[in-house]
Amino acid sequence: MAGHSKWANIRRRESVQARRRNRSPASATDPDRQLVRFEGYGPGGSAVMVECLTGDRGRLGAEVRQAFLEHGGSLGADGSVSYLFNIVGLMTYPPGTDEDRLMQVALEAGAEDVVPNADLSVEVLADPLEFSTVCAVLTHHGFAPTTAEVTQRATTCMELYGEAAERMVHLLEALEELDEVRDVYSNVEISHEVLARL
């Protein structure tokens, strides 16, 4: 969609990635910690999934709920939005990538789809079980991805504008700032004008 940016791409800002790299790896192996998922709704009814690793689900749940409430959202029940997301292998390529050649190699390697974005970047989607093979074949043919991961991807996107979009960005950033949050997924697309203001 022209003039819009998917939060899945926005959230890869260098500062967020640097903060995640600096978190203690010991926390991931702590036997008292468990994977927990929270689901809810952001401004405008947008879908948000928050994956966490915590030893205290109740305390973290209160922190996540507070972040939703402060930014115009609400926490939902288990399963309330997860049905809107699929697990996919995702590889991203920067603007200027030879889209036609990438598409040819990707589809021959077994990718499910090649998606051009409004900013001229390109995403390659693969079945999670085929992800490593597709990524290896693409890299072998000179298409080393900027990012490559198995992740959650929204099946449909929702455009947000104005105040709702600004509140959504603040909600997603607040959730990402919580120490025990590993990943935040949403189905929003936000205009570049809103992002420029923020």
Q: What is the pLDDT of residues 95-135, one digit of tens each?
A: 999 999 999 999 999 999 999 987 888 999 999 999 999 99
* pLDDT interval class at 6 (50, 70, 90): low
Query: C-alpha dihedral over 148, 154, 159, 161, to 10 degrees?
Result: -70
Amino acid making up residue 121:
S
Name the DSSP class of 142: T
Tens of pLDDT, residues 20-74: 545 554 455 567 889 999 999 999 999 999 999 999 999 999 999 999 999 999 9
Dist. CA 45–CA 40, nearest whole Å: 9
Report the Cα 140 to chain-centroid distance in Å: 26
Q: Vertex 106, ends 17 and 123: CA angle to 5°?
A: 35
Dist. CA 8–CA 152, nearest whole Å: 9
Domain assignments of the chain as residue spans, ordered by start: 4-83+155-197, 86-154
Can you name the residues that pair with 123 across neighbouring β-strands?
Answer: 92, 115
Tokens 């809810």 correspond to 40
CATH placement of domain 86-154: 3.30.70.980
b (16+ CB within 10 A) / e for 15-49: eeeeeeeeeeeeeeeeeeeeebebbbbbbbebbbb
pLDDT at 197 over 50: yes
CATH superfamily ID and name for 4-83+155-197 = YebC, transcriptional regulation domain (3.30.70.980)
| Paired sense of beta strands 158-160 and 188-191, if any | parallel
* pLDDT interval class at 15 (50, 70, 90): very low
User: Are residues 115 and 99 in contact, defined by beta-carbon separation less than 8 angstroms?
Assistant: no
The reported pTM is: 0.78
Dist. CA 41–CA 43, nearest whole Å: 7
And the tokens for 4? Answer: 């819009």
User: Are residues 141 and 103 in contact, defined by beta-carbon separation less than 8 angstroms?
Assistant: no
pLDDT at 22: 55
Tokens 């997924």 correspond to 185
User: Can 4-83+155-197 and 86-154 be said to share one CATH topology?
Assistant: yes
